[in-house]
A = this chain, B = another copy of it.
């Protein structure tokens, strides 16, 4: 029997070790947060919006060495509209914003938005309401505006009292730092588990001048109460009454922010605020400009909504679920959400598996009207199944090749009516489990 060549053996073992380490490397325990592979190439160049000033400073609420409070000052006469989580356990901030938006405001009064990350001030009882009053009251006093015009959001851990003195203590710094150029810093100050700051812009040709729209958002799970939530702030210099602005927001929130889902969970703090300063040289928004303005506002809302999905916790795929041929809009939405929220569909997408059986099953459980023998299912342009059975010319390898792309469209036609809805989602990966199972451990 030959003598063992220990040197060769050691070399071979080293090679095996390297391979195994590489395999383990794909699952790092405490690696630095990588930017989502679905992130846009860069943060957009944000325009100044006349009448809107930003400031962001670090208050050390939870994070150290980074900005965690943003302040926005809005010029007198600014119209404000909003949309909020429908959670019955929504936070004090959300309730406060809703009450203030329902209040008639005197003309020519300024307004402000103050947002902190690191603590959501949710499920903190009466103490939480006091914190909201202290922060919004402090900002109101510093800016010389009524507290009823100061809107606030908090995002971060649930159930911990918000150390609001840390915020009130830095209000003078915030006010001193206000400038029209600081929207980028504001987008960063509101981040929590986000892997990139989110911004979107649009311009509209108004009567007698250009109207600018600029929005920022945060969010990477629909909810992750420790650290995440969806917050969106959109600013425009358009001249538009608050009631009209609210109508536009309400009309477009369903197809944008209410049509995205990372994990079917809804935050206690989700907030969208849209502020129109009226400082554009363009005339009041109406007629054909109103249509163009609504389209531009919708674009910004859709863009930010999709960026939240692109930063979905652990996401490697950006998926549109496009349902057509439904008997009603609500059925279309229900089917799209059932597919987008199905853990089995989402894990199949993560595994690049063209597992259309799971889509059939999700349609079946949605509760919407569906007839097996009228269903059509497509991956992009590939016809997978129709009339209750697999398309005889469909090839599994075509589906598998399609699923390797980072952006997917799952198309379902119910064959029952003319209603259609899309929902955007991402895949469900091991990284999602790691982020959410290991976070506090």
Measuring CB to CB, which residues of chain A are less than 8 angstroms from any residue of chain B?
A: 4, 6-7, 9-10, 13-14, 16-17, 20-21, 23-24, 27, 85, 87-90, 120, 122-128, 157-160, 221, 223-226, 263-268, 341-344, 347-348, 350-353, 355-358, 360-373, 375, 385, 387-390, 428-430, 432-434, 436-441
Q: Are A89 and B370 in contact (CB under 8 A)?
A: yes
Q: What is the CB-to-nearest-CB distance from A384 to chain B, in angstroms, rounded to a whole number? A: 9
User: Which of chain B's residues have a CB closer than 8 A to the CB of A89?
Assistant: 360-361, 363-364, 370, 372, 375
Q: Are A361 and B17 in contact (CB under 8 A)?
A: no
User: Which of chain B's residues have a CB closer than 8 A to the CB of A221?
Assistant: 344
Q: Decide: A125 near B341, CB < 8 A? Known: A87-B365, A361-B87.
A: no
Give me 18 A-to-B residue pairs in the complex whose CB atoms sit less than 8 angstroms apart, sorted by A's number.
A16-B17, A20-B21, A89-B370, A122-B361, A124-B389, A158-B361, A223-B361, A265-B362, A266-B361, A267-B361, A347-B432, A347-B436, A350-B433, A352-B441, A353-B440, A428-B437, A429-B437, A432-B433
User: Which of chain B's residues have a CB closer than 8 A to the CB of A157?
Assistant: 357
User: Which of chain B's residues have a CB closer than 8 A to the CB of A430?
Assistant: 430, 433-434
Q: What is the CB-to-nearest-CB distance from A2 to chain B, in angstroms, rounded to a whole number? A: 15
Chain B residue nearest to A6 (CB atoms) is: B6
User: Which of chain B's residues have a CB closer than 8 A to the CB of A344?
Assistant: 221, 223-225, 263, 265, 436
Distance, CA A370 to CA B86, complexed state (A): 12
Q: Are A385 and B265 in contact (CB under 8 A)?
A: no
A123-B360, A430-B433 known; 7 other A-B pairs, CB under 8 Å?
A13-B13, A88-B363, A89-B360, A89-B363, A127-B389, A223-B365, A265-B361
User: Which of chain B's residues have a CB closer than 8 A to the CB of A127?
Assistant: 389
Q: Decide: A351 near B441, CB < 8 A? Known: A263-B343, A387-B125.
A: yes
